[in-house]
Structures are given as structure tokens and as C-alpha cells.
Structure 1
Amino acid sequence: MKTRQLGKTGPVVSAFALGCMGMSDGVYGPADRAESIATIHAALDASVTLFDTGDFYAMGDNEMLVAEALRGIARDRYVLSVKFGAQRDPTGQWLGYALTPAAIKTALAYSLKRLGTEYIDIYRPARLPPGTDVEAVIGTLAELAKAGHIRHIGLSEVGAQTIRRAAAVHPIVDLQIEYSLLSRGIEDEILPTLRDLGIDVTAYGILARGMLGGRWRPGGYGAGDYRAHSPRFEGENGAANLALVEALRAVAEAKGLPMSQAAIAWALAQGDDIVPLIGARRPAQLTDALAALDVRLSAEDLAAIEHAVPKGAARGDRYHAQAMADLDSERR
């Protein structure tokens, strides 16, 4: 397993990260707890060291699942990345974000307990909505880092100006943000800013929530599945995006690759500062994704892929309107 240092001051991690959100809550369809734990163990066996979760994933259950899977594993064998701040009611509905110093410290205390650890390696606000006092949030996290409760500070889904404001308060090691053939908005301002400051990307959504996984067809999702309400998966948008998927499939098959590996390999080819965050839920999915680390795409291959899926060709927003309003990364 190749390794990367996150940012100028961050931890050395595997060049591939495992996102654990889909292992709880049925957000991308039913998940099996035993299979999920087996996937985490398979990742450890493959020398994956970076594991991502959030305190609001299944209202803490995802953290407890991760803790169960990592129980008995030496603490220096893995790096925990945790998002915080999102609020949910007893029915699972979203309530906004709590980012006061007291709320941040409380969230951290509960995450440390659920995860069964004395510190979290990378702690990051899930969102910084309009009006957030960025300096105050990062200042609170800096205090927690100085006290040893967290090791590093990360960001999630924020734009170039906010990245600079945060980095002026405390070193930032990575930005977690959606990046894929279908979501390339970061290339205009955000990625150049990150590279100017020496901050890495942990990229989620590389397979576009399964759209580029090789088996997607429009419709058929349960009510609890995120994709049942996502603009990119709905109606005419879904049909138009399926045409892009099939164009990519043709390019991948011509090279003898599964489409999923072509999509991951494309992301890896965009720079050594990009670490794919893949939400595998079964060991077989993990094995398939890891194989992309050995794929080498030529300049001609990359050109063919981008011809099949041109930048900006995806139809529909990444999230529904209310969630889009909270994305600092989408504000201009």
C-alpha cells in the first residue's frame, strides 16, 4: 500500500481511505453489520489505515460499529477521521448545525466515548453554513488539539475563501469534498487554493454514489436511500447521466477495466494530493476498488475518459436545494 502525508503537518496515511457511512442507516440501501465489520478488517489486512465516519451517521451507531471492528487493533495501525456538527431529531430528520465551543466540545466527548479512543486523529466540521464564525470554530478545535484530544484539523465542503480563513488560524491537513468525473467543481478555485497552502484532498463520491460503480440503473431505491431523492438520480437527469455512465463503460471495457476502477484510477491520476475515500460495504467491493491503485492510465486513456464524460456534463445538483444552501464549497 502506498502512503501519503496529509498536508504539511498531517499524518501519514494509506493512499486509499475507507468511508464507513454506508455501513449504517441504509443511506445507500441495506447494509449488513457483519459484512461491514468484515470489510473494515479486510481493509486493515490490505494496509488501509484511514477510516472516515461522522457522529451523526445513524446518530452515533456508525461510530460504535467502527469501534467494534477496531477493538483489539493497535491504535497506531489506523487513523480516524470524524465529522461533527450536524444535528438530527429522534426521527432522523436534519436540524441544522451546532458549532458553538460548547457544542463542539460536547460532540467530541461523545465521539471519544463511542469510538473507545483517547484521541481522534482528524476532526472536522461537516459543514460551515453561511454566517458561521470560521475563526471561532477553528480556534476551538485548536484548543482541543493543544489539549491532545484531537491530533489534526480537517475541513469538509468549504470554498477557497473559507479554506484560507481557517488555515490562518491553525494548520489544516485535508479537505474532504466530493470529487469525481461527474463532480469537478473543485478544479476551478478550491483545488488551486489547497495546493497553494499545502492541504490535501480526501475525495468522497468518486463513484458518484454508485452511479459509476458499474451496476446502476435509474429508480428502484427505497424511501430511506439517499438516491431516491437526489437530483442527479431523478427523472430526466438520471436518464441523461446514464448516457454518460454508458460512455465511460465503453472506454473502460476497451481497456479491459471495470468501470469503477477506471473512475477511481482517473481520480488518482489527478494528483498525489488526492486520496480516494471509497464507501465499500462488502469485502468484494473493497477488493475491486483497491485494484484501481495498480491501474495506470496513459494520457490517451485520460483523454478518452474525459471525452466520454466531459467536465460539467452531469445533470442535476449534487444535493437537494436545502442541502446545497449549506455548502460553502458551492457559493461564489
Structure 2
Amino acid sequence: MPSSHLVQVSRLGFGCGGLSGIWNAPVPHEAGCLLIKRAFEKGITFFDTSDAYGHDHDNEIMIGKALKDLPREQIQLATKFGFAVEEGQVAIKGTPEHVRKCCEGSLKRLGIDYIDLYYQHRVDTTVPIEDTVGELKKLVEEGKIKYIGLSEASIDTIKRAHAIHPITAVQMEYSLWTREIEDELIPLCRELGIGIVAYSPLGHGFFGGKAIVESLPVESLLNTHPRFTGENLEKNKVIYQKVVDLAAKHGCTAPQLALAWVLHQGDDVIPIPGTRKAENLENNIGSVAIKLSQDEMREICEAVTMNEVSGEREFEMLAKYSWRYADTPPR
């Protein structure tokens, strides 16, 4: 992410959320810490978590344990705030008071003095973004966070937020089967000098064969994800096979090709695949070495067109579970 207000991170990040359930069964803290340490030893220094991952902030607590055995100055740690439980339902909350409360809680759970990149996980449309970012700006001035990020934000929100304080990164779902951000959001971020962090760059493991060659865990929320169920899944299996065939031509695995495609979108695009398995971690890291020409990139895009993808993406699915939902990012 080359810019004066952007944190320098490893070419590939690590999404930690999957270690604490939702999409997979949670792993014991000891196993999760070992995987995080292994990722660091392999050159990954950018780790992404949230106060919403896992029961009772489990993910941040796990990451905090792992950090105790790693050199803090070599780690770029991102976490997020923005959810709250009100009246027994999930709400999006972006008040200045909530921002500060969440930051203090994350610092304590993680056992650190500062957060490298602090995201608003979802944008609360009932609170002016100027108020939310204004409080984040104060946290930067106090040294509690270094950089500010937004996740799943609209074009208008990004512009307004950036006018209050430089936004370092916008985190969006981006992969071969989720490309809505290409038309407007990526060009805007490049115009403003904002990095793009691509979450779910393997389509929640779809391009690794999840639900195709590997069954879904019973407790996984993917069992209700539109793209992983029923007729949609049957249609999407055709896309998966196309990627498998293309990967064979390149002498790599399907997830490596899918990640390489994201990596080739630009040095300002940082994918953060997550995994619970050491072998998948090694496989993901191998994607960084894959080189694709413009013609090869075009061939991949033509093989996986957006009008072939069947089912809604994650944002639309999870929005149905929220009481007061958020911004309207690209669709």
C-alpha cells in the first residue's frame, strides 16, 4: 500500500476470524496461536481480527495470546468495531462513545498499546460518519490507533470520511466471484490513495473446494449462505471446475490461482485469506509466486463471469440478521 498515510504490510495478510467459528468450527487457542506464529514465520505480518469474531470476543483474546510470542514492532494488526447487541438483537453502532469504548476493550483483550489499523466494521447510517471518524481521529492523536479504515462502506461515506481524516484502507469482499467494487470503489480508492483489503478472497473457501470436495461443518453459517446451498451451489460448481482446469494449466492449485488473480489487481490490493489448517496456509502463501500475464488474467475473467455466479454474496446474507443495518456498498 504505497502512500504516506498507509501502513506497510505483507503482500498477503491473514484473516483470523475463521479461527473462532461462524464459517467453521472454532479451534482451540493453542492451535490458533501456533498457526498465527507459523504464518509470521512464513512472512505474513498483517493479521486481521475484530471484536465481533467469536463468542465473547474470543478471536481478539486468541490473537492477544499469539502476540505475546511475536515481535510487536514487526506485526501490523487490524481489528474492527461497529456491532452491538441492543434489545436482544444485533445493531450497527457508530457513536463516538461506542467507538472509544470498543477501542479500549480491544486494546485490553489484545494486550497491546496501540492498534495499527482500526476499522469501522459496518457503517451506522444513523450517526454522521463525520462524528464517527472524528472520534477515530482523536484516537490517532492519542496514539491508541495508527491508521483508520472502513469496511463495507459506500462511495459517499468513503469520500466524507476521508475529508475528516485520511482513510488508510477500505476492506471489502473481493474475489473471482465477487467483483462489484471494480467499477467505482477501486477507482475512487486509487484516486484518494486508499488501500483495498480484500476479505474472503477465496469466496469463503469455495475456490478451495469447500462444499464441493470438502463438506461443510454442521455449525458453519455457510450452510445458509445462498451461494453454498441448493440449486445455486450446483450452478456454482461449474465455476469451480473452470478454475480447477485453469489452475492445472498454470501448474498450481485452484485456490492459488484464485488468490493470484486478486494479487494481480494491484499492489494496493491486499488479500487476507484465512484458514484453520497449516497445509492450506502453505498453499495460500504459494500464490504470491505465481505470475499471470494480461492475457492470462483476461482468460480467467472470461472463464468466471459475474453473470454466471448464482446467489447473493455475504453482505446481503448477513444484512438479514441485523436489526439496524448499515451503508450501501457496491452491488
- Provide TM-score, normalisation by structure 2: 0.92
Q: Distance in 1 between matches of 2:192 and 2:321?
A: 28
8 Å Cα contact 1:35-1:282 kept in structure 2: no
Kindly indicate whether residue 266 of structure 2 is the aligned counterpart of residue 271 of structure 1.
Answer: yes
* 1:228 to 1:153, Cα distance in 2 relative to 1, 3 A: same
In the alignment, what sits opposite 1:212?
Answer: 207
SS at match of 2:240: helix
Q: Distance in 2 between matches of 1:77 and 1:94?
A: 38
Equivalent of residue 164 in structure 1, options 155, 159, 165? 159
Equivalent of residue 72 in structure 1, options 54, 60, 69? 69
Unaligned runs of 5+ in 2: none
Letter in 2 for 1:109: E
Letter in 1 for 2:223: A
In the alignment, what sits opposite 1:10?
Answer: 6
Q: What's the CA shift string for 1:267-308, capped at 9, x where partnerless? A: 111111101111122222111101100000122321221122
Alignment of 1:156-195 (within 5 A): 156-195=151-190
Q: CA deviation at 1:60?
A: 1.0
Which of 322-331 and 297-306 deviates more?
Answer: 322-331
8 Å Cα contact 2:20-2:53 kept in structure 1: yes
SS at match of 1:163: helix
In the alignment, what sits opposite 1:145?
Answer: 140
In the alignment, what sits opposite 2:303?
Answer: 308
In the alignment, what sits opposite 2:114?
Answer: 119
SS at match of 1:208: coil
Letter in 2 for 1:28: N
8 Å Cα contact 1:241-1:315 kept in structure 2: yes
Q: Distance in 1 between matches of 2:23 and 2:278?
A: 19
Q: CA deviation at 1:98?
A: 2.0
Which of 77-86 and 94-103 deviates more?
Answer: 94-103
Q: Distance in 2 between matches of 1:57 and 1:267?
A: 24
In the alignment, what sits opposite 2:293?
Answer: 298
Q: What's the CA shift string for 1:161-180, capped at 9, x where partnerless? A: 11101000001110111000
Equivalent of residue 257 in structure 1, options 245, 252, 255? 252
Unaligned runs of 5+ in 1: none
CA RMSD of aligned residues (A): 2.2
Q: Distance in 2 between matches of 1:196 and 1:301?
A: 27
In the alignment, what sits opposite 1:107?
Answer: 102
In the alignment, what sits opposite 2:21?
Answer: 25
- Provide TM-score, normalisation by structure 1: 0.92
Q: CA deviation at 1:220?
A: 4.7
Q: CA deviation at 1:97?
A: 1.6
Q: Distance in 2 between matches of 1:329 and 1:256?
A: 39
Q: CA deviation at 1:87?
A: 2.0
Q: Percent identity?
A: 34
The number of residue pairs the alignment matches comes to 326
